[in-house]
Amino acid sequence: MENSGGSAVDVAVVGAGIAGLVAARELEAAGCEVMLLDARERIGGRTVRTVAESGELIEGGAQFVKGGHSATLRLLEESGIALQTSPAAGADVYVEGGIGRRETAPFSGSPERAREYAALQHEFEALAFSCGTGEIVARADAAKLDAESLPEWVSARTDDRGVSRRFVTDTSFGMGSLDGEVSLLAALHYANAAGAPDLGHERFIATGFSTLVDALAVQLRETTTLLDFHVDHVERANGGYEIRSGSRVVSATQVVLAMSPVLMRCIEFVGLDVVDDWIPGRRWRQEPSVKGLLRYERPFWADTGLSGNVAGDGEISYLINTSTPESHDLTVLWNLGRHDRSPADLRRTMLDFAAEHLGHEALAPRDVAITDWSADPFSGGCGSPLSPGDLTSGDPFAFEFAPGLVRAGTESSPIGWGSVEGAIRSGFRAAEVLISGEEQKGADR
């Protein structure tokens, strides 16, 4: 139901990920006529149900919830979606140079290295939690902290390459930087909003954030959703906007662009200098990941006193025990970037890694699901790293481009960016800004 330049809807929300769905829900609830547009043939964005080898649908995107992610926790509770806790019993395995060691905490088998790791953690956390949520960029020394990369900060404190590599991965994995060029300030800011450094993998939704997408979608009663609508142009017209996908046009008085800035840069903005000059959006980088689920008949790792959690220092960064009372699952988190490896190769590498560190039974899973985000043209990547200087030399979270044209999406949220938390917050904010703008116009009339 494209309106081909005829009567305009009140708001077009471009991007039907969690940010766009939240924005559409709030705008619809405020009485706006909303059209939700997405380039894909499905909604959900960086959440997706992947078909496992058994045919079962398994979450291939977002799943974990960090303690400080209050907007996420609120929305999950409101939607009746339960959180599970990773079973913690047993020793974790930490891999260094291909060799796995059983440990209760990083380097617990080696007191001196454990002290070095703990000292880094202590200093990092003292900095990260020196101020309220999101306020770290207002510290007097913010520019100094932003001038340095996280690996540089760590290397200045320890000569132990194993300790520094482990600390950098544990602290910045979710930001998804393959080259490690993450600003120290960005890493502190990211941890500050999450309420903890990055290793927040204890709590998760067994069915993944696709369950939240479903819950949001059923609340959209009046909103029209157009899929397979890849926006390539946004143009100022008739006091509003024309949003184009090839020859298809949707007209709207206001627009929310709810997507990764990497993809936003692919849209041509006509007659909109503010957007063309939008420097902060150019700062974001993104790299795709591979997510795997290995499901077993039984938790065989417990036979040898292991928890099922493995932290690697090679290709695969983590195996996380995401078992529930109903199934025995290990989730593979792997920041692989763009690659040309075959699905069979990815599968073999995951199973070999699990077998090497947890036992031979890992080679015989009951089910396997692999989601390779490098093959996905509409996510822009998975994590969202900021390099040194990015946070303080511009505003990467700038979100109001032009009258009635706002940005949403996780990377636009100063709190919880890169996570579902940022997506939710950005969706609420975009709706709020547009609704209050309309109210203001009404009051001025």
Ligand X SMILES: Cc1cc2nc3c(=O)[nH]c(=O)nc-3n(C[C@H](O)[C@H](O)[C@H](O)COP(=O)(O)OP(=O)(O)OC[C@H]3O[C@@H](n4cnc5c(N)ncnc54)[C@H](O)[C@@H]3O)c2cc1C
Q: Which residues bind ligand X (CB under 6 A)?
A: 14-20, 37-40, 45-47, 61-64, 229-231, 258-260, 263, 267, 289, 291, 373, 378-379, 382, 409-410, 418-421, 423
Closer CB to ligand X, 98 or 246, in the complex: 246
As a whole number of angstroms, the longest Cα–Cα distance in the chain is: 73
The rounded distance, in Å, linking the Cα atoms of 367 and 413 is: 36
Choose between 113 and 295: whose C-beta lies nearer to ligand X: 295
Pick the closer one to ligand X by CB: 112 or 268: 268
Looking at the Cβ atoms of 87 and 422, the one nearer to ligand X is: 422
Amino acid, res. 112: E
Which CB, 17 or 281, lies closer to ligand X? 17
Closest separation in Å from C-beta 50 to ligand X = 10
**Minimum distance from residue 282 beta carbon to ligand X (Å):** 16
* C-beta closer to ligand X: residue 86 or 164: 86
Non-local (6+) Cβ contacts of 117 within 8 A are 106, 107, 163, 166, 167
Least Å distance, CB 162 to ligand X, is 26
C-alpha 344/C-alpha 154 separation (Å) is 37
Cβ at position 122, least distance to ligand X in Å? 26
Residue type, 211: T
Identify which of residues 83 and 237 has a Cβ nearer to ligand X in the complex: 83
Residue of 253, 217, 257, 225 whose CA lies nearest to 237: 253
The CB-of-287 to ligand X minimum distance in angstroms stands at: 10
Smaller CB distance to ligand X: residue 162 or 418?
418
Minimum Å distance from CB 89 to ligand X?
22
Q: To 5 degrees, how large is the angle CA 23–CA 29–CA 33?
A: 80
Helix (H, G, I), strand (E, B) or coil at 419: coil
Collapsing DSSP states into helix, strand and coil, what is residue 34?
strand
Minimum Å gap between C-beta 377 and ligand X is 8
Residue 154 CB, nearest approach to ligand X (Å): 24
Q: Tokens in use for 290?
A: 């591979």
Under 8 Å between Cβ of 226 and 98: no
Angle between helices 111-128 and 161-172 (to 10 degrees): 40
Beta strands in 159-239 (DSSP E): 203-204, 224-226, 233-237
Tokens of 321: 């025990």
- 18-29 helix and 420-444 helix, angle to the nearest 10 degrees: 30
In the complex, minimum distance from the CB of residue 62 to ligand X, in angstroms, rounded to a whole number: 3
CA–CA separation, 109 and 96 (whole Å): 13
Nearer to ligand X, 215 or 302 (CB): 215
Strands (E), 238-299: 240-245, 248-258, 268-270, 290-296
The label of the residue with tokens 């041509």 reads 268
Q: Minimal distance in Å, beta carbon 259 to ligand X? A: 4
- For residue 203, the cross-strand partners are 85
CB of 177 or CB of 379, closer to ligand X? 379
Q: Which residues pair with 367 in a beta bridge?
A: 295
Residue number with CB closer to ligand X (259 or 275): 259
Q: What are φ and ψ of residue 402, in 5° steps?
A: -155, 165
Residues in the chain: 445
Question: Cα separation of 205 and 79, whole Å?
Answer: 12
Contact 309, 333 (CB under 8 A): no
Q: Shortest gap between Cβ of 390 and ligand X (angstroms)? A: 18
